[in-house]
Structure 1
Amino acid sequence: MRRAAPTLGEIFVVVGLGFIGQLTAQMLRSNGCRVIGVDVDGGRIAMAQSMGLDWGIHPDDFDQITQVARLTGGTGADGVIITAASQSDEIVSAAFKMCRKKARVVLVGDVGLDLSRADFYAKELDFLISSSYGPGRYDEHYEQGGLDYPIGYVRWTEGRNMAEYFRLLADGLVDLSNLATEIHPLAKAADAYGALKNGPQKPLLVLLSYELGHDVQPRRRLDIPGVAARKHAGRIRVGLIGAGGFAKGMHLPNMVEMADTFEP
Structure 2
Amino acid sequence: MENKKIIFTAPWQVEVETEQRSSFKVGNKEVLVKKKYSLISPGTELACLSGNEGWFQMPSVPGYSSVSEIIELGEEVEGYQAGDHVFHYGDHSLYSVISTSGIFLKAPSDVPLHWVPFTRMASVAMTSIRVSNIELGDHVAVTGLGLIGNMAAQLASMQGASVIGIDLSLNRINTAKECGIAYTLQSGSTTKEEIAELTEGRGVSTLIDATGIPSVVANGLPWVAKYGEVVLLGSPRGEFQGNITDLLNYIHLDGYGCITFKGAHEWRYPVEPDVFVKHSLARNSQIIFDLLRRKQLKIEPLISHILKPEQAVQAYEGLRNDKDHYQGVLFDWSEV
TM (norm. structure 1) is 0.69
Which consecutive residues of structure 2, in runs of 5 or more, have no partner in the other structure?
1-128
Identity fraction in percent: 24
Residue 261 of structure 2 aligns with an amino acid whose one-letter code is F
Shift of 1:134: 4.6
Alpha-carbon offset, residue 59 of structure 1: 2.2
1:53 aligns with 2:181: yes
Match of 1:97?
222
Which secondary structure does the structure 1 equivalent of 2:327 belong to?
A: coil
Residue matched to 2:318: 195
Q: 1:15 to 1:129 in 2, by over 3 A?
A: same
Cα separation, partners in 2 of 1:201 and 1:36, compared to 1, 3 Å: closer
Is 1:29 aligned to residue 154 of structure 2? no
| Aligned twin of 2:64 | none
Question: Deviations 1:130-157 (Å, cap 9, x if unpaired)?
Answer: 11255125xxxx6xxxxx421xx21111
**Matched positions, count:** 199
The residue aligned with 1:127 is 261
Asked if the contact 1:134–1:161 (Cα under 8 Å) also holds between the matched residues in 2, the reply is no
| In 2: Cα distance, 1:38 partner to 1:45 partner | 7
Alignment partner of 1:165 out of 259, 279, 288: 288
Kindly state the Cα deviation for residue 200 of structure 1 after the two structures are TM-superposed: 6.3
Paired residues for 1:5-154 under 5 Å: 5-60=133-188, 63-86=190-213, 89-109=214-234, 110-111=236-237, 115=244, 116-122=247-253, 123-132=257-266, 134-136=268-270, 148-150=273-275, 153-154=276-277
* Greater per-residue strand proportion: 2
Distance in 2 (alpha carbons) for counterparts of 1:163 and 1:134: 18
Equivalent position amino acid for 2:250 in 1:
D
Matched residue, 2:87: none
- 3-state SS in 1 of match to 2:300: coil
Q: Which residue identity lines up with residue 67 of structure 1 in the other structure?
A: E
| 2:335 corresponds to 1:209 | no
Contact 1:134–1:157 (CA<8 Å) still a contact in 2? no
Deviations 1:25-68 (A, max 9, x none): 111111211100111111111211122111111123x5112221
Point out the structure with max Rg over C-alpha.
1
2:298 aligned partner, one-letter code:
D
Q: Is the 8 A contact 1:96 1:120 kept in 2?
A: no
SS in 1 for 2:301: coil
Once residues 55 and 201 of structure 1 are traced to their aligned partners in structure 2, the CA distance between those partners, rounded to angstroms, is 19
Q: Displacement of 1:168 after TM fit?
A: 1.3
Evaluate the alpha carbon distance shift between residue 3 and residue 189 of structure 1 in structure 2; reply closer, same or farther with a 3 A threshold. same
CA positional deviation for 1:205: 1.7
RMSD between superposed Cα atoms in Å = 2.1
- Report if aligned partners of 2:270, 2:279 keep a CA contact under 8 Å in 1: no
Verify the 8 A CA contact 2:204 2:225 in the aligned structure 1.
Answer: yes
Distance 1:190 1:133, change over 3 A: farther
Per-residue deviation, 1:126: 0.9
CA shift, 1:201, in A, is 4.1
The aligned amino acid for 1:173 is Q
Give the partner amino acid of 1:28: A
Greater RCO (Cα-Cα under 8 Å, separation 6 or more):
2
The structural deviation recorded for 1:160 is: 0.8
Secondary structure of the corresponding residue to residue 13 of structure 1: strand
Would you say the 8 A contact 1:133–1:161 is kept in 2? Answer: no
